[in-house]
Amino acid sequence: MRVLRHLFDDNKEWARKIKETDPDFFLKLSNQQTPEYLWIGCSDSRVPANQLVDKLPGEIFVHRNIANVVVHTDLNCLSVIQFAVEVLKVKHIIVCGHYGCGGIKASMDNLEHGLIDNWLCHIKDVYHYHQTRINSLVSDDGKFNLLCELNVVEQVSNVCHTTIVQNAWKSGQELAVHGWIYAIETGLLKDLDVCITNKNEISRIHQIK
Ligand code: CO
């Protein structure tokens, strides 16, 4: 017995609507993908990459995890970045966080949440690096919002520190890494102005010759 029948119905209707405007859309897409963007975002159901920048299938290569964290040794994320950069030749990597992120919130308390605490430790590290700045804010909301932003900035750096991105720059490949944040309550994106396009823009210790 097929369960979740409504999702299959919705899928049929969705495909029908797309074919209505472009009858060959799926056929063309089945032959190749040529996305210009790699999106690294939060798994949060309210932050769907394609929808919030109004892009169709085939336009964005996507990796999502809790709190859009890029860990130096995460083979899953690194494999996505490698494929996107070396095979798909994306021109932009966008790390997109969001305000009100549950992962960020959970990293700010001292409670036990189970296995996920090991993942959230990476965000606690970000808090630790920037604790003077964060703790200088009075309101809890202000601290929370700032950590959501600083986490994006930190993950942009982590993307740039990978051998994948640095090798792409070394070979002259055009590749920019961006940090954005999304506000769920307005549906709007904000650019955090941390666009990095070459190795001279990252910290010296991380630069690979
Ligand atoms: Co989140």
89-117 per-position pLDDT tens digit: 999 999 999 999 999 999 999 999 999 99
- What is the predicted pLDDT for the residue at 67? 98
Give the count of domains, the chain.
Answer: 2
Are 7 and 41 members of one domain?
no
Backbone angles phi and psi of 38, in degrees to 5: -105, 125
Are residues 52 and 109 both part of a single domain?
A: yes
DSSP annotation of 144: H
CA distances from 14 to 35, 50, 70, 105 (A): 21, 14, 32, 35
Single-letter code of the amino acid located at 32: Q
Beta strands 176-183 and 188-191: pairing type?
antiparallel
Per the annotation, the verdict on 98 as an active-site residue is yes
Max intra-chain CA distance, the chain: 59
Model pLDDT for residues 32-57, shown as the tens digit of each residue: 889 999 999 999 999 999 999 999 99
What is the CA(2)–ligand 1 centre distance, in A? 31
Please identify which of the residues 63, 98, 122, 130 carries the catalytic annotation: 98
For 127-186, how does the pLDDT look when each residue is reduced to its tens digit (9 = 90+)?
999 999 999 999 999 999 999 999 999 999 999 999 999 999 999 999 999 999 999 999
114 and 160 co-located in one domain:
yes
Do 98 and 156 sit in the same domain of this protein? yes
Both 96 and 106 in a single domain? Answer: yes
The reply to whether 106 and 182 lie within a common domain is yes
User: Are 49 and 12 in the same domain?
Assistant: no
Query: Do 93 and 183 sit in the same domain of this protein?
Result: yes
Do residue 17 and residue 104 come from a single domain? no
Same domain, 23 and 37: no
CA 53–ligand 1 middle distance (angstroms):
17
CATH number at residue 149: 3.40.1050.10
Active site residue 113: no
The active-site residue, picked from 77, 96, 101, 160, is 101
Say if residue 27 is in the same domain as residue 61.
no
Domain containing residue 23: 1-32
Q: What is the pLDDT of residue 1?
A: 56
State in Å, rounded, how far the first CA of the chain is from the last one.
58
Task: Tell me, yes or no, whether 11 and 62 share the same domain.
Answer: no
